[in-house]
Structure formats: C-alpha cells, structure tokens
Structure 1
C-alpha cells in the first residue's frame, strides 16, 4: 500500500516542480543583466542558448518520463484535448518546409510540442484536479515576493531608473512583472472567495500583489487585471450558471458593439477607425493614441505579411534578430523590436490566414470547454475564462500567443489541456 502511495506523492511532487520550473525558467533571465531587452532578451532560443535548451530539455524529458509511467491516462488526455492545439502543432511543423530559417522553426516546433506534452502530464487524472492552478499560484507568488525584495534591496537590478523608477524585480522588464503580479492578484482573489485558506492571509497576499502591480507601473497590466477581476466576479455568480450564459453574453456584447457603431456612423457619417477606438482609452492611460509607436510597427509587419498572406513566412521565422526577415523594420526604426507588439498580426505574418484561423478555433474551443466546465466547477471555470479574456485583450498591444515559452503562451496551452482533462475526468465520475 505504501508503494503506490509513495509513487503518487512522487508524481504530484514532479508535476508541481514541472509547473514551477516552466514559469521560473521562462520569466527569470539566465543572467542578472536585467537591461538586456529586445533581441538579447527575446531571441535566446533562436540563437541557441545552451542553458535555456538544457532547462527546457530537462523539463520535457521529465514530462516524457511521467507520460511513460501513465501511458493510458496520457493517451486519454491526448485524445480529448483541444484538437486545434494538435492541428496547430502539425501546421507549424509543416511550415518548416517554406520557412526562411528552418532551424529556428524546428526549435520552436520542438518547444511547442514539449509544452503540449507537459500540459498533458500536469492534467487530471495524472495530476490532482486543481494542481495546475495551485502550483501556478505558488510559483508566481514566490517570484513576486523575490522581485519586491530585489527592487527594494538591490534597486540597481530590480528598478528601471529610465522608466520613472518602475519595478521589474528579477523579470526581464516591468511589463512582465506587471503581468505576473496581475495574475497573482486574480489567483489570490479566488482564494479569498473560496475561503480554503485563512482569510487574513489571502487578503494580505492579494493586497501585496496589487502593490507590486502598481509599482511595476505597467498600465496595460493594470487595465487587463481590472477587466479580468470584473469578469471573474461576474462569472462565478449563480445567475450565469445556465449553459446558455456564454451565448447570451456574446449576443449582448455583439448587440452593444453594433449599436455603438451605428450611433457613431449616424453622428459622423463614417465608420470608426482604430484611432477613434483607441484615443479615449489611450487618453485615460496617459498614452499616445498610436500606443507609443506600436501602430507603426503593425503597419510594417502587415506589409511583410501581405507577401505570404495565406500560409505565413514560417513559424517563429520572422523576429530572429539582425539580418533576418525583420531587418527592414530595424532599418526603419534604428533598433530591432523583439516582436510586433500585436499577437494577432504576428500570427498572421508567421503562420498566415490558415494558421490564424486554426488559432481562433483553439480560442473558441477553449471558451466552449470553459462554459461546459461551469457545470462541474464554476469557480475554476470562471478563473480560467477571466484569464483567457485577459490574454485576448492584452495581445492587441503585446505578442505572446504561440510565442515560445512566454508567460501567456504557456498559461493558454496548460489551461486548455487541463480544462479538457477536467471535463473528461468529470464525465467518468471519478
């Protein structure tokens, strides 16, 4: 009896360690040179960083060993996972054939496949039903605490003096710390609502995460966190428990959007442009209407995308640093961006209309799965759905979808696989 119990404890320990290591290795630089932004921070895998390959190679090998120990469970999860994840992996692998940098595309495909494998072994029944979200909370909370300590004790490392003293802690930059702190706020808020832990402790952790989010001075993270909290608090209420809640919410939102568009057309005689939409939001956030130059980057990326609109240039093959396909953008600006600051435009450029359609299918399938999960675990479904909305919104100004081992890419993949596994786990009544 003790043998199987000890084996299960070892499995659960390794699953928690896999989640922790995935996010630590992704979020924390391999050196303490926190000022390394752009290609230095964003293209380590493309350039063949040996340390990063060892880190994630070890993670993926451990995931493979766990799958080998639980072959029936792993195969069952694979069969019932979001089919668009598998189709995207196949399509991205096919893009090696036309990629201008096939070695880079191969590395990205291996990373994507490794993340899918890791997602399988951290899902039930191999893992406990909520083990992923609990391990994520513990990992991100530890990173926020350490970042706050570094910002206070070692400001030459943890504070960006060129950005009005914004905290970045042990992350690459302030926006990343803001995103991590924002996720912590939502995860700790869930703990406050569920009352599984002492209320004083969870409230203190939530307020501390909010403080670090504020100190990061990442307005994007603040806004999307506020939206995510509002969605979570609304969705966990019983009045949205009905299975048609998602359809009703979508129809209401679409109706409001059409009504606002019609009112704008009547008042101005034209349809709204991007500047009309973003200007009031940018003013509220004390930003320029062009999102600090992002729209010019978008324009140039779209110019490149038109040359290979259907199938894309190749997965991960555009933003590969100096001398790559994005060189003309660096020549235009005098510096090399690490991505296009818009996840949807970057996907269109790299994997084309076909790949973007598959990705949209992934998002829709995941959303439907979350509404189905409402019947089983409303609170968990509300948390995952609010995080999904947060990612969908933030990728209009950032680019993290299908982007290597970025924070949001890993959260999306792991969330999609674990939610599908939870549904199957519930149907079996185990």
Structure 2
C-alpha cells in the first residue's frame, strides 16, 4: 500500500519534479529517482521473496523481450551513461507497477488511483486559483498562444489535460461502491479543467475513448452470447489487430513517403517539423538508431542539433511516442514494444472472460486513450511519464485478473462471482457431480476425506 501511494505521488508530481532537474544534461531529479528506488524496495519487501520467490515473476515474459532489446541498444547508445539511468528507471517502474497491482488486487488498486487523481485535481485547482503565476501559462518566457491556458502544478497544459482525461475515464468505468454524485462532481471538475487547459489531444480523445469502450463492451457481450463461434474468430481478430501495425512498419521501411506526408510544417501546431527532423535521422540508421534514451536531452551530442533547425532544436521530446521509439531503439524495438503492450494484451482482452464487464471497459478505454495519445505526445515505454504509468496500471490489472483466474483465486468478490458465472459448463457439471458424491457440498462444508480428495 505504501509502495502504491508513493508510486502514484511520484507519477502525478513527475512533471513538476522534472523541471527541477538538469533537463539539458539528462541528469534528472535526484529526489524523484530516489523515490522510485524506495518504491521498488517497498514492493520487494511486501512480496516476501525469501519465502515466496515465485512472486517476483510478475512481469509477463513478452515485456522482458522488449526490455532486453532496449538494454541491448545501450551497446551503441550515443550517451550510455544517461541511457542507463533512464532504462533503469523504466525497468523499475514496469516491475513495480506489476508487483504492487498483483499484491493489492484490482479493487484496492482502483481505490488508490482514484484517491491520487482526486488529490491532484484539487491541488491543480488551488494552484490555478491561488497562484496564477504558476498555475497558468504566462506572458514573458512563454509562447503567446499559450498565455492563460491552465496547467496547475503539471508543468504544461498538455500534462494537465492528460491527467484530467485519465481522471474522467477512471471515474466513468468500474466505479465499484463509489457514490454516483461524487463521480459526477469529479468528472465535471475534470472536464472544466481540461477545457481551460486547451489540450486539444486529450480533449478530443477522451470522449472518443469512452465511446469506443462502450462499443467494444457491447461487442464483447454479443461475442460471449455466442461462445460457440468465439474460438473460431479470436485468431482473425488478432490478425486484424496485428495488421494495424502495417502502416507503422511501412513508414519505417519507406520513410521517404512519411517525409512527404509531413511536409506541411504548419500541421499539428508545428509537430511535423519535429517529426521531419526525427525521420531524417532515422534514415541514417533505421535498424539500431540512437539507442534507448539517447536522442533527447543529452547535451550537444543530441542528433537534433544536426537534423533539426531553429526552434526544433529546443524541444525535449518528439511529440510522438512511436517515432521516439523508432529513433532510439529502431524498427525492431518499436515492433517488440507494440507486441508487448498492444498486440498480446489485445488478444488477452478478446480471450478473457475473467474480468468484470466494468473492469474490462476501463482497461479498454485506458489502452485506447493511451495508444491514441502517443500519436501526438510521447510516453510509450518512457520511464515514469503519466501516460506510461497509467498504461502499465491498466495492463497490470488485465494480467492480474488473468493470473488470479488461472490460480483459481479471483482478485475480489465481484471478480469471484464473475468467474463462477462464467465457469466452463462441463467443469461446473463435474464439480457438482463431485459434490453429490460426497467430495464437497454446495454450502461450503465438506468431510475430511472430501477435502483430501479435492
């Protein structure tokens, strides 16, 4: 519980803490780095590894494959010292999120997440209203187009918009025993803050993600009502999801086409100029690229000073999570990360019947939002960025539900009832036959021999 509380605190305060670090050299914030070491230690202690070493294996194997390529990329990284620090943090965050969610279960995880989201929403409103010089983008050192936009304690309007959008999602789905009135107030305040932040990406995507989740939930209900055909269509659905990677792979192989596509420098508030510089660099080294964490904020060694011009040289990220992976871990690394975070989880979502409908809808909405958000912002497989941590939380809840069901121990009472109702009919009939034979009883009592037989 302490690990989860500290993890969420560091995550939501990360943008503010990052500004206090040495962003140009990549040194980061020492307090933040120490905080994640404490999170890792607390999670490790809570798992009692000396007595239960198997508990350490909480991260799915396909995540380790993607991480292995990232670690291998340090062999050719432009700045290995900075890259090591960033990759250590990424690895710690991934393991810690899966560990604490596995230990706490889905219900308590949602409780902690919602407490953290309410707390940061209140803090952001206080900062905007009481300290406008800090809570608003102000004229002076800022872009004139940003003046007056709300950012609270989040560093910039896009981070503020992102946390508001995630708050809306987490208070829309799987609210458990949360009062409807409280959810409505939190959602309304989040929508207001999101509107005044003018974060176009988050404002446009959050409601699309919610609508998509409702649509996928109805599709899932229809498929579950036709279980006889479900096994036969899972693989085609997986193939369809995998085919969604084709445009990314195509642009990675035929990069000149992508350069022509983003030739208009006025598109997407100037992001296309950043993407052009990134793709120019990628063309020089399409397989290995710069190495994990070795493109932005590494001082004069950064390739952006050779491939970008003007204001592009001052930015600290590519504003596209997929392109950022492409220029750091190359096309192989990008594919491995997408397989680990999108393709396999998508198949798992299609196949699972162990999550409640509400939890399933929440996970789908968060995944849809985070992957869409990475088309204009960067967070995918990137340390403790807000988008990355909340994506990991959703994936960890999905994986926790699957592991609990596999071990015959659904994570909470609602999940237990759900798993019982979705039990395979043949297995249920066999279980009832054992009960009638004296191996157990429906009221939970059994004889000594019955327990031994089971």
Whether TM-score is above 0.5 comes out as yes
Q: Separation in 2 of the partners of 1:374 and 1:42?
A: 47
Partner of 1:52: 32
* Cα distance, 1:107–1:254 mapped onto 2, change above 3 Å: closer
Q: Separation in 2 of the partners of 1:19 and 1:372?
A: 30
Q: Separation in 2 of the partners of 1:365 and 1:234?
A: 21
* Cα distance, 1:240–1:177 mapped onto 2, change above 3 Å: farther
Partner of 1:84: 62
Partner of 1:296: 273
Of 234, 256, 266, 2:215 maps to 234
* Cα distance, 1:417–1:253 mapped onto 2, change above 3 Å: closer
TM-score of the pair, normalised by structure 1: 0.79
2:122 maps to 1:145: yes
Task: State the superposition RMSD in angstroms.
Answer: 3.2
Partner of 1:5: none
Of 25, 38, 44, 1:64 maps to 44
CA drift at 1:224: 1.0
Partner of 1:132: 109
After the TM superposition, which residues 203-222 of structure 1 pair with which residues of structure 2 at under 5 Å, given as runs? Answer: 203-222=184-203
Partner of 1:180: 163
- SS of the aligned residue for 1:352 comes to helix
* Cα distance, 1:99–1:14 mapped onto 2, change above 3 Å: same
Q: Separation in 1 of the partners of 2:12 and 2:87?
A: 21
Q: Separation in 1 of the partners of 2:262 and 2:328?
A: 26
Partner of 2:333: 355
After the TM superposition, which residues 29-428 of structure 1 pair with which residues of structure 2 at under 5 Å, given as runs? Answer: 29=17, 43=23, 46-68=26-48, 72=52, 75-76=54-55, 78=57, 81-124=59-102, 126-161=103-138, 162=144, 163-190=146-173, 194=175, 196-237=177-218, 238-239=221-222, 241=224, 244=230, 290-325=267-302, 326-329=304-307, 331-333=309-311, 335-362=313-340, 363-428=342-407
Q: Separation in 2 of the partners of 1:84 and 1:250?
A: 16
CA drift at 1:321: 4.1
* Cα distance, 1:42–1:304 mapped onto 2, change above 3 Å: farther
* Cα distance, 1:29–1:112 mapped onto 2, change above 3 Å: closer
Structure 1 residue runs without a partner (length 5+): 1-12, 31-35, 257-272, 283-287
Q: Separation in 1 of the partners of 2:240 and 2:35?
A: 46
Q: Separation in 1 of the partners of 2:28 and 2:242?
A: 45
Contact 1:167 1:215 in 2 (8 A): yes
* Cα distance, 1:42–1:230 mapped onto 2, change above 3 Å: farther
- SS of the aligned residue for 1:87 comes to helix
2:408 maps to 1:429: yes
- SS of the aligned residue for 1:197 comes to coil
CA drift at 1:159: 0.9
- SS of the aligned residue for 1:47 comes to coil
- SS of the aligned residue for 1:166 comes to coil
Contact 1:330 1:336 in 2 (8 A): no
CA drift at 1:353: 1.4
Moved more, 337-346 or 409-418: 409-418
Partner of 1:265: none
CA drift at 1:373: 3.7
* Cα distance, 1:132–1:59 mapped onto 2, change above 3 Å: same
Q: Separation in 2 of the partners of 1:367 and 1:249?
A: 9
Q: Cα deviation per residue 1:229-271 (whole Å; 9 max; x = unaligned)?
A: 1122223343354674877878999999xxxxxxxxxxxxxxx
Bigger relative contact order, structure 1 or 2 (CA pairs below 8 A, ≥6 apart): 1
CA drift at 1:19: 3.5
CA drift at 1:351: 0.3
Number of residue pairs matched by the alignment: 383
CA drift at 1:181: 0.4
Contact 1:82 1:417 in 2 (8 A): no
Q: Cα deviation per residue 1:265-306 (whole Å; 9 max; x = unaligned)?
A: xxxxxxxx8899999xx9xxxxx8611111121111111112
